Amino acid sequence: MAGKNSKIRLKRTTIATSRLMDFCSEKELVAQTGHQRAAWPLVILKELMDNALDACEDKSIVPVIDVEVSKSGIEVRDNGAGIPIRTVQRILDFTVRVSSREAYVAPDRGAQGNALKTLVMMPFVLSGNKKGKVEITSRGVRHTINVQVDAIRQEPVIDHKKAKSTEFVRNGSLIRLYIPWCIVKDTKERFLQIADDYTFLNPHLTLNINWMGEQKRTEAIDKGWVKWRPNEPIPAHWYELKHFSRLIGAYIAHDQDRGRDRTVRELVGEFRGLSSSAKQKLVLESTGLGRVNLSALVKNKTVNKEKTESLLAAMKEQTKPVKPNALGIIGKDNLAKKFETNGCDMKSFNYCKILNESDAGLPFVIETAFGWFGENSSATRRIVTGVNWSPGIINPFRELGTFGESLDSILEQQRIGRREPVVFLLHCAYPRVEYTDRGKSAVVIRGKDE
């Protein structure tokens, strides 16, 4: 028998497995977000808050955001313009990355590019790979999204149902993720602090929090406060050749899918300071790209480096760099009000801001504030950190300065230990943030003098 069996040969079949399953695994979601599953409720809060604030600012709406946590899960409601049906459908297409921030260089919150896709899959993974449920209510339509997996084909099965909404939603969106309570409950302290951190970094925000019936309303400090908005034309000076080439490539691919081909003039006209015909003419004449379509910048399926470099240089020559204060400043008065509201002894309040340029010539604003609760306070040290008006789930400034010191170590050197009753805030606004990890949780920004 052994001899006969030894003559049998297995003819292996090449089996294809859908890469869409990557989004259905805990390992991939950890890699995409930079956080373990225990912190996913915090990831959900941050991404939905970032999107809500951007949606309001894009339409010049003073933001009012409601966050509710219950045993069913987490929901965030805003008063922005609402999510279009087509955008919801594209979020559920896991073969592409969907983002209004992709390829642009600007001081945007987040800019992960696939955040909503990861959020849609979190309820499924947290349910033990049984069934995940997400609801998006916007523009009079309630989208119910159930996620399961075809165990045979090893690919996600998305059941997307649309119905007329019977739920009151202001002119905005409501996103509800059904998350197991056992995952959410242990994040309460950090969850509520991150939510409150948004009101430090965004003076125009009115925030309503409801955690299992415990309600708190934080009124906007300054409803007229403004910062760099997502819909503002971007300066050419913020782009290097690699970023500009990426933008051109993204536009060409987008146009090809829609059967059009925009002109170079259209591209130029989108940038800050180049909306006038006279400026556009100067740029196009100096580069020889007048009456040329954007696709002409492609050669052998690659963006032509020489032409693109010439175009970017001409655009920079015809415009002025943006000053740091144009990015937006939280401001001493606004932060003083927040620190006083939080119980600080205002005699101890100290504020500092730095307006400068990075090594790459880009503007940045760094603001710090300090306050002491007093000798008899039982409070411990609170740190509020953020980049582009979005607080970090964990401290994003884990490497600072020439020697890569952490913020914690610098505070310890200044005798501001973990048990000290103080509040310390550090915020940085910068158009082109570079992160040290895939989850975009740690950032290093160095100035010219370092």
Residue 192 CA neighbour count, 13 Å, CB half:
14
Taking residue 433's Cβ as centre, other Cβ atoms within 10 Å add up to 20
CA dihedral 72→110→233→426, nearest 10 degrees, is: 120
Domain closes at, from 157, 184, 218: 218
CATH code: domain of residue 397 = 3.30.230.10
Distance (Å, whole) CA 47 – CA 123? 15
Q: Are strands 206-211 and 302-303 parallel, antiparallel or unpaired?
A: unpaired
Reduced to 3 states, what is the DSSP secondary structure of residue 134? strand
pLDDT in tens, the chain (450 residues): 555 556 778 777 766 666 667 678 888 888 888 889 999 999 999 999 999 999 999 899 999 999 999 999 999 999 998 988 888 888 887 766 655 566 788 998 865 445 788 899 999 999 887 789 999 999 989 999 999 888 777 777 889 999 988 776 667 999 999 999 999 999 999 999 999 999 999 999 999 999 999 999 999 999 999 999 988 999 999 999 999 999 999 999 989 989 999 999 999 999 999 999 999 999 999 999 999 999 999 988 899 999 999 999 999 999 999 999 999 999 999 999 999 999 999 999 999 999 999 888 899 999 999 999 987 787 888 999 999 999 988 888 766 655 456 777 777 777 777 778 899 999 999 998 877 655 566 675 554 444
Range of the domain at 43: 19-218
In a domain, 6, yes or no: no
200 in the same domain as 164:
yes
269 in the same domain as 199:
no
In a domain, 444, yes or no: no
102 in the same domain as 175:
yes
Domain closes at, from 263, 294, 317: 317
9: tokens are: 């040969």
In a domain, 339, yes or no: yes
In a domain, 13, yes or no: no
Q: Are 159 and 145 in contact (CB under 8 A)?
A: yes
Cα 155 to chain centroid distance, Å, stands at: 27
395 in the same domain as 268:
no
- List, as one string, the DSSP characters of 152-191: TTTEEEEEEEEEE--S---SSEEEEEE--HHHHGGGHHHH
Domain count, the chain: 3
In a domain, 438, yes or no: no
In a domain, 441, yes or no: no
268: tokens are: 């130029």
In a domain, 228, yes or no: no
336 in the same domain as 411:
yes
- List, as one string, the DSSP characters of 257-300: HTT---BHHHHHHTSTT--SHHHHHHHHHHHT-TT-BGGGGEET
108 in the same domain as 35:
yes
Reduced to 3 states, what is the DSSP secondary structure of residue 124? helix
In a domain, 390, yes or no: yes
